[in-house]
Each structure stands twice: as structure tokens, then as C-alpha cells.
Structure 1
Amino acid sequence: MLQLDETPLRSLRRRIRSTYRPSAFAAVAAFIFFAGVGSVGRSMAAPPSSTPNVLLILADDLGFSDLGCYGGEIKTPNLDSIAEQGLRFTQFYNTARCWPTRGSLLTGYYAQQIRRDHLPGVPTGGGNRGQRPAWATLLPALLDPAGYRSYHIGKWHLDGMPTESGFDRSYYLQDLGRYFNPARHLRDGRRLPAINDGDSFYLTSAMADYAVEDLKDHAANHAGEPFFQYLAFTAPHFPLQALPEDIALYDPIYTVGWDVIRKQRWKRMQQMGLLDDDAVSSPSAPERQLGPPYHFPEAFEILGDGEINKPVPWESLTAEQKQFQAKKMAVHAAMVHRMDVAIGRVFQQIRAMDQWDNTLIMFLSDNGASAEIMVRGDGHDPEAPAGSAASYLCLGPGWSTTCNTPFRRHKTWTHEGGISTPMILSWPAGMTARGEFRRQPQHVIDIAATLLELTGTKHPADAPEPPGQSFLDQFASEVPSEPRTLWWYHDEHRAIRQGDWKAVAPEGEPWELYDLSTDRTESVDLALPRGDRLDQMVATWQQMLDDMIELASRDLPKSVLGAAEDQNARSGRMWEAQQAAKPKRTQVLINAETFRIKGRHAFLMRPNEPADGATGKPWIFYAPTLSPYPDRNESWMHQQFLDAGVAVAGIDVGEAYGSPHSQRYFDALYDDMVSKGYSRKPALLGRSRGGLYVARFAIERPNRVAAIGGIYPVFDYTDYPGVQRAAAVYGVSADELQFHQERWNPIKQSEVLAEAQIPVYIIHGTDDRLVPIASNSAALGEVYGERGQQELFQLEQAAGQGHSAWPGFFRCQPLIDFLIEAARKG
């Protein structure tokens, strides 16, 4: 009887299945043909000597600065060593969440294309994780034609089973909430016994054990084939659980607090030249009011007074909070430390196989550090040692802000802190580059493209064009790439990057725009001055969304799609928790409706019985409309307006500071009000910096203004906010804004208001140092006087008052009467 060699037969069967997907008859025919070839098949299946082994390591919830080689204080010598002999990518992106990243990583497609993250009207199953299309083949099956044997260790978070998706062996952890005693884990698809309390087991170390076991078996039985080892750690994902001896190493470090540790990390980044100085000159400002992405109030009852859900200044914490928070970070650091130790053991095994030089190692994270706070699984025992099996702690936003240094926000968000993480690459025999940085934008969708180009393999013939781009050329030297488009959509957070421009919009919030070549910390929103570019990018984002919906729906019957129309990502416990966690707009509005105009927040306070205006219902245009404004100080005044039948409306254009680029939004609010039957000539009311806003509207559209009222209004941007802060929204440099004041500064253009004979009434404190009365309100009065319009200008000087919430500013009856009369006249 002919003796068949199983290795080439297995390889051929997998090649047939993954590449051609023929009928069962064709597969059998091919099997019979190959069996007749006999031992000739080994030489055909043997890989070329240049084909590298691949070790793909994925961390979970690791922040940009957690590793030593990315500026962190955590000891990661094994990962640091491959960074020193290989490459560190500084603009490597993921999907902002664990399961979408895994789908993209192993297929080379956006998660939405393969139904592994939410798309409107497309069935994605529980947790927005659906069944992949048949053409969405995973990497082990794609690499099979090149002769690879594939091994999976750890977290999966994909549909199907690893050993049914091309992996030859698997240690599959289903129990993601236990590091010491997992109850649900499988070896090659077979359930393993639960790990009992007290057993000598720690998950991160066990993952290394299984990886080493598979590699030893590979060396003994499959030495002629390259291996693809996918090692998917759960560390440092919550619950924060670590070995006591590892925690002890880091206990003393974090008592200085997150603000100090963040500064230290940033200093080390600068010293190693990690980031482009032009792109990142300083870390982003901590978002003190931004907490976890989901709010579970019951967790805080369980965790006690030591827990806090905002990244407030460390020195504002109580002694109990400092102790609790420092311990959490020590456990997080211990988890990263032990992961590096485990990785070192895998490295040692590869060296023992004499395969080190020809092994391509890739290390990355599935998303940024997590700000989440919750209690799940076995719950949390407050009396148990922090980091033990009986504890359930999460990192939280204070330390997550530090771990994602220098970027903004956290896991789930599509700002840089959520989607940009370390990526290290090493291949001693295949790379000439040593210890270099790569600053070109890359994405997890590029991993498959790179490995397929390297191995000469391809996606199935029926698969659509993948979006990933190989970065194989970066192995030798940094090669400038053509500007590319990258796209994000998770938890209703959106983003798109085109070249160095990035548009990003948190769920329910307006789009922001950043130039990442000068502002990777996303600190200066250019949505106003570059509105044309933003509009184009938003349109492209929407077109890509539509294309993904079409692709993800293509193979689904209409009945399934019809049922999916009822699916709504904006429902369920997680959605409710996300809404509960969102920073709230704290405006104080009376009898109001809120809505969006051109994507911006707007409000309208309606009187119960509108007074008739000359050409429509009277209204007052209020500024600045921001998250906290108008506030309670103005409520009495606004009630007077409403009682007089005068509506009040505003639109949030952010910190516009009188920029002409805000005008299109003011026009949009005006057009909306007129379409609702309101007057074509509203009165304007500007409080503080709101003076710049209403002055801009009046300068641009004097024929649409009945009058201007002000409460210590700013008219001169050199006083407030100053040219350095204002320049960005004007779309010019600070020097240009200073030099061209006649062109842009509202106080320098105010003759337009006098010549249009617009009446003005202002109340302003004589001791106002923030907004000096002389260079603002009094200066405007001088312009009116020079134009012979003194009778149209009234300035009430509040003696001894500064820039404050003194009630007299907001209960100034002459100002209120002035605005009511002007609004009624239209």
C-alpha cells in the first residue's frame, strides 16, 4: 500500500479549501490526484529557505506609553530588545476595541466589512459581533499555501473556532474575567478542566507554556515548515489581577500620582526621540471631566470611596483615593511586566530551535488603555488584596490618561489615545534596519497585506479588494508613502484620516478637524477655518460607510437584512451606560428645545405667547453658546425675555473668538429661525467672549441686526483670548493675526456697526481686568462717537465691579428693556 506523507496532504487540502472553495467532489478529486504523486509532494510543499517564521503577539488594552521602549517606567526588557534590533512604529493604528481589531488583524479588512462591528441595517449579532462572510479567510488559511503551520494561543473574539479557521493547534481562553482560575478554556477545541483556587496557575504565564509546547512540538515534528504563532494575551485587560511578587516590584512607584508619571513618560519620549517634535510638542491636556466610556453606578458602591471616575489633579484626591489608585496602577504595571517575562520565554524557545534570525516578530495592542470602570465576573471583595483572584479592579481614566501619553482619550474613542498604540517589528535575517523608528501611518489591516506579500500568498479569488497596504518596504529603510485614507467607526464614534488631516467626532458630538503633522495630540480644532476640507472628509467618511454597508450586505438574503433594520445600536444596557457616561452639557435653558444645525448644538427658548414682531416673531441671538453657557446667572434675564414674548436662540460654534469662519453657522441658525417664522432682524446679546461672536455676526450681516446688547463683552481679541489662542480658529499664525488686526479684529472693524446705525447697550465693570472696559466697551463707544452716532450707544459702568457673576450684571433692567424693545421692532 502506498504510504502517504500527511504534511503535504494537509497542506493541499487547506490550500484547496482556503483558496478555491470548490465542491466536495472537486476536493476529493484533487486529493486523489495528489495522493498519486506520493513522496514527490514533499519537495513541492517545502517552503523556500527565505520564508520566515511569524510570531504575532497581541496585547490587550495596552497604552501607547506603557512599554519601556515607548517611554514607560514598566520593565519590559524583552520587548525593548526587539525594538532595539528592529523597528518601532509611531503612527500605528487599530480599531479602538478588542474584537474589531482581531477581525481586521486576521483578515486584512475593516471589521465592518466582515460584519465584526456595528453597521446600520446589517446583522452583527450580540455585542455587534457577527458572522464573517465566506470570503473573509483568516491568516492561517491564507498562509497555508506557503506551507505554514499555525498556532493560536489566548483570546479569540472571532466567530467560529480557531481550529476550524485554519489553526493547527489552539489554546482558546473563553473565560476572560479570571487570571488565576479560568473555568472555560479549550485545547484544540476540547474543554479543559477548570482551574481551581489554590492551583499554581497564572494565565499570562500559562499562555507562554502553551506557546512553548506548540513550538517544541513544531521543532520535533514539523521542522521543515515555517510556523505562524499567534499569541493573543489578555493582559493588561481588566480585571487587574497579577502575581503578588510582580505587584511588589511596582508598589512604591505610583504613589507620586498620575500627573507626575505622565510628565516622566513624556520626558523619556522626548529623550529617545520617539515622536516627531513638529507633531507633538507637549502632551494633550487631561480631559478632567471625561470619565469612563460607560457608567455603571453600582460598581462605585462596590469599589468604595477609593475609586474615582475622573482624571482630576492627583493632589485633589483624598489619602484613601491616592492609596487605592496607586495600587491599581501597580497591578497594571505588574501585568505588563509578567507579559514581557512570558514573551521572553517564547523568545528563548525560538532561539533554542535555532530559528531566531529567521523569525519575524510583530508586537502590537488591540486598542489604547482603557478608562472603563465596572465589576463583572466573580465580583469584587473589598477585603481581598488588590490584584488577587477575589478582586475586580479596572484602570480607570486617571491612569488611562497616563498610559496613553501623550494622546487624548481612551479605548473605544477614535481620538489618538484610543486607536494609536505600539507596534514593534523584528526579523534579524530579513531586515537591514536596526533600532529605527517608522513614522508612516499604518493600520492593523496592513498586517495581513504585509504577510501575504512576504509569503507570496493571496486572498481568495472571490474576495473583494482588501483595504490594507503592505509595509514590507519599510523593513529596509523608511520610505515616504503616498497619503492614504484610513477610516474608523466604533460605538458611534467616527474618524477618518487623509494624509496628515484627521476628522473625528465622538458619539453625538460635532466633527473636529486636526492637522496631525503639527498636532497629533488633537488640541487645536480646525473645523472652523478649514470647514471646506472638513466637509469633504465627512462626505468621504459617509461614502465609505455606505460602501461597507453594501459589501457587508452583499451575501445576505433580503429577509435577514429586513430583520436587521430593526436592530439598533442605540439601545440596550451598554448604550444606556454610554449615554450616562457622556459629559453633560450644563446649559441652563428655559422652555427650550435643543437640536442640531450643520452638525452643531443649538437651542431655542420659546415664550409661551410670542409677541408679534414687525416682520416675524421677535428673538434674541445669544452668545457664547457653549456647553456651560448660558448658565443659571442669566436665567432671570431670560425669563424676562420669554415673559415679554421674545425667544432666545444660540448655536455652539466652540471657541470661535469672533473668527469669520464661524459665520456660516451663524447664518445657518439665522436661516433656521427665519424659516420658523421668526424675525429677520433679531437683537444680539453677547456675554464676555460672546461679544466677539455677536460682533462678528453684526459686522458680516449688519442688515440682519436690530440691536446689540452686552454684559462685559469682549470686542478686542488681543485682550481676550489673546492672539496665540485665537490664531488657530482664524486660520492664520499668531503673528499674522496680530499684524492684520484691521482685517480681522472686531474692534478694528466696528465702524461697520456705527455706520449701519445699530443701537448698542452694554453693562461693564470698571475694575474688569480680564476684559478691560477701556479697550473693549468704551473703545466701541469711541468708534460710535467718531462716526457721529453717540445717541445710539449706551454704556452703563458698574463701579468697582470686575469680571464676575455679580447679580447686577444679569438683572440690569435697562439692558433687558432695551433688548426686548429692539427685538419687538425687528
Structure 2
Amino acid sequence: MQTSIRTFLAVACSLLLSTVALADERPNIVVIMVDDLGFSDLGCFGGEINTPNIDALANGGLRFTSFYNCARCCPTRAALLTGLYPHQVGLMRNGNSLTRNGVTIAEALGAAGYQTAMSGKWHLSRTQALPDHQQQLDWLNHQSQPNRTFSPVESYPINRGFQRHFGPIWGVVDYFDPFSLVEGETPIEDVPDDFYMTDAITQKSVDYIREMSEKDAPFFLYVAHTAPHWPLHAKPEDIAKYEKTYRDGWHKLRDARYERQVKMGLIDPQTFPKPELQGEGDDWEALDEPTREHMSQLMSVHAAMVDCVDQGVGRIVDTLKETGRLDNTLILVLADNGASPERYLNPGFDRPNETREGKPIQYRGLFTPGSETTWGYIGSYWASAGNTPFRYWKAQSFEGGAHTPMIAHWPSGLKTKPGSTTDQSGHVIDILPTCLELAGAQYPQTFEEHQITPVEGLSFSPILQGNQRDGHPALFFEHEGGKAMIADGWKLVQPRQNGQWELYHLAKDRTETNNLAAAEPQRLAEMKRTWQAWFNRVKP
């Protein structure tokens, strides 16, 4: 009898050790989200900005040239983390909390034995201003602390599956002294004099990797940068690199990026005709010299912010090497939407009017951008050039708003040729099912007594294996009046500003230059009906 028990225990122990060994072979996953990045900002997608570390990931990995987001910060983050359309989890509009009918990647992987951590911007908790405008400004300025939390604490990342979190809860920050910064549930009241948000996100990511690498269990790390989202704040040494880069204006930038993309083989001019640059207000030739200098400086700071993100990616990769984790780590780099045309010229809601010490912040005029006492934006023309070769920008459902560069790097798991590209389409809703498949984890029907909505995304693991996958029959978009649908090589799209449906044959016109709505009335009507049926299904 005792021999039988010992035999049983030995077999059971062997099985347990075997299971652990298998679990240890599961990949680590690092998702790096960049905020308001232009499609062509990165060097590996045609940009002139110095991004050698991200470019190295592309050269050793796979670039996706037809990957989509939801065209705006909150919706994209909600869709990425849950595998659902944002409408299904409370983020049809910005400023709401992620609902409990979706499970986050962190929750699902945590339940499967993964370590989970997040460094950076959350922006998936309800953001509500104080009723009094001056009280709100005092709060934003760090000059008073009302008796309330930044957002409902139960909606913070630390309570949505992340075992560790450092970063801002709201979506906009002063990079040198951020509002709504927390560690777990605890507000961080003061930061060092040399604090810079991008570097802090990187440092915490490095710390988390080192901590989690001390254990055998694999990890999921979500690095959610605030850069290069406005305000345009950067370190002087980074700005100096681009002091003269943009003095020839946005048309020259668009032309140079487009030519590089063609030479790199990223685009074919036959199917990617170069559209006219778009913008609001005076074009480059109509500006006087001081205004041109100011505008070029704005873009220089944007470039410096992207450059700093890349430096941080280099530190993250180096740490993965040092800890022996790089080989079996899937790294994804992508953006939440296209470059932003936004220009809010008055303080309020999430925009302070003074620094903590009471120095006024300048929103208007020909100031030198980059410091904490300025609040700059690149504006629509630079945003249009930043999204080369596409039209439009953030918040629009045109390609320039909802089309993200994406890079996958995984030395031991990626089966595609290093440096290759794929034109197979994907969407941020595909990231959760991909992570779960690679981790051998199940998508739950219930989680913590909440019914979970069936996942909408599809794993793109077959693409990583060098295979063709059965993709989405259709992809859908909607945000504040910007609407779209992609199916069978066609795209239905409605601009936010005029409500007129447009139709493009993406298979032949990837840059949406030839509106075929009048020539294809039946197709237009059918796609409108399909889009409406989807919207009726997912809207709250």
C-alpha cells in the first residue's frame, strides 16, 4: 500500500513538474503603445526621426502594414486590452470606465499563471472635472488636493488584472510634473526635479522586467507611453537633434517620407497614390518667417518626444537581454491612433494654466515650445504629413486616423524572414486572443462573477508563424460621428464633419483618393446596411 502511494506521489509530482516546465516555456509578452504617433514617424516606416531601437526590432522582426486601431486614445486601449469593440466595454466615447463585461489581457493571463505589470497611461477610468472651473485648475496645477480620487479606484489598472502599475490615470499630462500619477492606488504627490514622463515609464518598465525575471513564471508587460501626445514637452538635448530638420515645411516632409516608403517597398505608388496634404488655416507658403520658425520648432519637439520613446525601447530590449528573457519575448510596438491635429488654446478640464510654482503656461503666440511653461501642438498640416501616405488624422476613421504601424519581434517564436512585412490585415481587438493563444489560456465565459461578452478579435498567431490566416470578414469603426467599414477590399467611410458617406476601393486605392460612392450605389447601400447592423449590435 505504501509503495502504491509513493508511486502515485512520484507520478503526480512528475506530472506537476512537467506542467510547470511547459508553463515556463510560454512566451513573455511586452506590448508597447505609443500615443498619437504618425504612421510614418518611425524610421522603419519611412520617417526621418532617429528611432534605431524600434527599427532594429523591425529589422529582426515583422512589420504589419495593414493593422488598425480605433482612431482615438480610449477606444483603442479598451479594444486592445479586451478583444472587444470599445462600444461593448463602455468606451464608445472618451472619459468612461472600462466595464466588467470584458476581461483584460492582464486578468486572463494572470488567471493562467502569468505575472502582469503596466507602466504608463491608463485612460480607461471615468474622468470628471470639479464643478468649479478655478478649483479644477488648482487641482490640475497641483495647488490643491480635493477630497476625491482621480477616478473610481476600482477601475484603476491595479484592480483590472495588473499586479503592478505606475502611471497617469487621466489621458493628458505635463511631462515634467504630471497630473493623476499613481503607483497602484496611491497618488504620487511630488516628483523629482529631473522627472520626465517618458523616461519614468521606461524606468518603471525596466524595474518590472527585472523583478518579474527573478521568477520562473512568464510575464505580460503593457508599456503605455503618453508621448508624443500633446503638450509638446521634451528634454532640450533631444530637441536640439531636430533644430533644423523641419524648416522646409510640411510639404517637403510629406514628399520625403513618401519617397522613402516607396524605396523601402512599404508602398506601391500604383495602389498608394500620394494624396494632397490636408490642413486647416494658412499653408506653409502663406506664413511669415517667424511663424514658419515657430511651426518648425513644434514639429522638432514632436520628433524629440518620439526619439525619447525609442531610447526607452532600447533600454527595455537591453534589460530583456540582461535577464535572459529577450529570446522568448514577443514584443509588439504600435500606436493608438494617427498623428493629432488637435489644438486646444485655452486651459481647462485636463489642461493646467500654471505650473506647481505658479508660473503661467503659454498656449498662444510664437513661443519656443518644449518646456513646462508652454503648451504646444503640431496641428493639422504636420499631422497630415506625419500620417504619410494616408489622409486625415486622429479621431477620423479614414486610414490616417485608424491605421497604425505595428512591429512584432520574437526571436524564438517568429517564423517569418527577419525584416519582412505582411499586408494581412489585423486590428487591435486581435491582440488579446493572440496573447491568450500563445499563453495556452482560455477566454472565459465568466470572470469574478461577471458574464463576459464573447471575444470579437481573432488571433494573428498564424501570421507570426509565416502562414496565411482566415481574417475578419469585415472590420468596423465608429467614433464621435466618424464611421467606417472594411470588407472585400472596399472601404465605406463617413467623415466626422459632414455626414456624407464615401466609398473607396482599397485594393486599388489604399490612400482613399477616389470616392466611388456615386459610381457604386448598390455596394454603398449594402455596406451601409451591414455597418448599421454591426452598430446596432455593439452600441450600449
What interval of TM-score do these two structures reach, taking the shorter chain for normalisation?
Answer: 0.7 to 0.9
Residue number in structure 1 paired with 2:352: 378
Is 2:408 the counterpart of 1:408? no
Residue number in structure 1 paired with 2:484: 495
Q: CA deviation at 1:38?
A: 11
Is 2:502 the counterpart of 1:506? no
Is 2:416 the counterpart of 1:440? no
Q: What is the 5 A alignment of 1:51-66? A: 51-66=26-41
Instruction: Give the Cα–Cα distance (whole angstroms) in 2 for the partners of residues 38 and 184 of structure 1.
Output: 48
Instruction: Give the Cα–Cα distance (whole angstroms) in 2 for the partners of residues 195 and 457 of structure 1.
Output: 39
3-state DSSP class of the match of 2:89?
coil
**Among 387, 398, 405, which residue is 1:422 paired with?**
405
3-state DSSP class of the match of 1:437?
strand
Residue number in structure 1 paired with 2:128: none
Q: CA deviation at 1:49?
A: 4.2
Residue number in structure 1 paired with 2:73: 98
Q: CA deviation at 1:150?
A: 0.5
Residue number in structure 2 paired with 1:265: 257
Q: CA deviation at 1:131?
A: 4.6
Q: CA deviation at 1:40?
A: 9.4
Residue number in structure 1 paired with 2:222: 230
Letter paired with 1:68: G
Q: CA deviation at 1:277?
A: 4.3
Instruction: Give the Cα–Cα distance (whole angstroms) in 2 for the partners of residues 115 and 192 of structure 1.
Output: 27
Instruction: Give the Cα–Cα distance (whole angstroms) in 2 for the partners of residues 513 and 521 of structure 1.
Output: 12
Q: Contact (CA 8 Å) 2:262, 2:268: kept in 1 or not?
A: no
Residue number in structure 1 paired with 2:317: 347
Q: Contact (CA 8 Å) 1:135, 1:460: kept in 2 or not?
A: no
**Among 121, 130, 133, which residue is 1:155 paired with?**
121
Instruction: Tell me which protein shows more helix as a share of its residues.
Output: 1
Letter paired with 1:315: E
**Among 162, 170, 176, which residue is 2:165 paired with?**
170
Instruction: Give the Cα–Cα distance (whole angstroms) in 1 for the partners of residues 509 and 366 of structure 2.
Output: 45
Residue number in structure 2 paired with 1:456: 440
Letter paired with 1:171: F
Q: CA deviation at 1:481?
A: 4.1
Instruction: Give the Cα–Cα distance (whole angstroms) in 1 for the partners of residues 511 and 61 of structure 2.
Output: 26
3-state DSSP class of the match of 1:547?
helix
Q: What is the 5 A alignment of 1:209-228? A: 209-220=203-214, 222=215, 224-228=216-220
Task: For residues 753-794 of structure 1, give each alpha carbon's deviation from its aligned partner in whole angstroms, at most 9, with x where no partner exists.
Answer: xxxxxxxxxxxxxxxxxxxxxxxxxxxxxxxxxxxxxxxxxx
Is 2:464 the counterpart of 1:475? yes
Instruction: Give the Cα–Cα distance (whole angstroms) in 2 for the partners of residues 416 and 539 of structure 1.
Output: 21
Q: CA deviation at 1:246?
A: 0.6
Instruction: Give the Cα–Cα distance (whole angstroms) in 2 for the partners of residues 482 and 457 of structure 1.
Output: 21
Is 2:306 the counterpart of 1:323? no
Letter paired with 1:166: G
Q: Which moves more between the two structures, 372-381 or 319-328?
A: 372-381
Residue number in structure 1 paired with 2:134: none
Instruction: Give the Cα–Cα distance (whole angstroms) in 1 for the partners of residues 218 and 123 of structure 2.
Output: 25
Q: CA deviation at 1:171?
A: 0.2
Q: What is the 5 A alignment of 1:71-110? A: 71-110=46-85
Q: Contact (CA 8 Å) 1:117, 1:130: kept in 2 or not?
A: no
Q: Contact (CA 8 Å) 2:251, 2:277: kept in 1 or not?
A: no
Q: CA deviation at 1:443?
A: 0.5
Is 2:106 the counterpart of 1:140? yes
3-state DSSP class of the match of 1:213?
helix
The list of structure 1 runs, each at least 4 consecutive aligned residues, that deviate by more than 3 angstroms after superposition, is: 37-47, 382-385, 480-483
Instruction: Give the Cα–Cα distance (whole angstroms) in 1 for the partners of residues 14 and 110 of structure 2.
Output: 19
Q: Contact (CA 8 Å) 1:47, 1:226: kept in 2 or not?
A: no
Instruction: Give the Cα–Cα distance (whole angstroms) in 1 for the partners of residues 254 and 297 of structure 2.
Output: 16
Instruction: Give the Cα–Cα distance (whole angstroms) in 1 for the partners of residues 460 and 466 of structure 2.
Output: 11
Instruction: Give the Cα–Cα distance (whole angstroms) in 1 for the partners of residues 515 and 278 of structure 2.
Output: 15
Is 2:309 the counterpart of 1:335? no
Change (3 A) 1:131 1:202: closer
Q: Identity of counterpart residues, as a percentage?
A: 38
Letter paired with 2:241: L
Q: CA deviation at 1:378?
A: 2.9
Change (3 A) 1:99 1:526: same
3-state DSSP class of the match of 1:256?
coil
Residue number in structure 1 paired with 2:511: 521
Letter paired with 2:476: W
Question: How many correspondences in the alignment?
Answer: 479
TM-score where L is the length of structure 1: 0.56
Residue number in structure 1 paired with 2:178: 182
Letter paired with 2:237: E
Which residues of structure 2 form unaligned runs of 5+?
Answer: 1-11, 126-154, 354-360, 447-451
3-state DSSP class of the match of 1:78?
helix
TM-score where L is the length of structure 2: 0.85
**Among 273, 278, 285, which residue is 1:287 paired with?**
278
Instruction: Give the Cα–Cα distance (whole angstroms) in 2 for the partners of residues 277 and 147 of structure 1.
Output: 47
Letter paired with 1:378: P
Change (3 A) 1:218 1:513: same
Instruction: Give the Cα–Cα distance (whole angstroms) in 1 for the partners of residues 177 and 111 of structure 2.
Output: 38
Q: CA deviation at 1:338?
A: 0.4
Q: Contact (CA 8 Å) 2:429, 2:458: kept in 1 or not?
A: yes
Q: Contact (CA 8 Å) 1:140, 1:165: kept in 2 or not?
A: yes
Instruction: Give the Cα–Cα distance (whole angstroms) in 2 for the partners of residues 356 and 393 of structure 1.
Output: 37
Task: For residues 199-218 of structure 1, give each alpha carbon's deviation from its aligned partner in whole angstroms, at most 9, with x where no partner exists.
Answer: 01111011111111111112
Residue number in structure 2 paired with 1:194: 190
Q: Contact (CA 8 Å) 2:168, 2:179: kept in 1 or not?
A: no
Is 2:523 the counterpart of 1:539? no
3-state DSSP class of the match of 2:493?
strand
Letter paired with 1:249: K
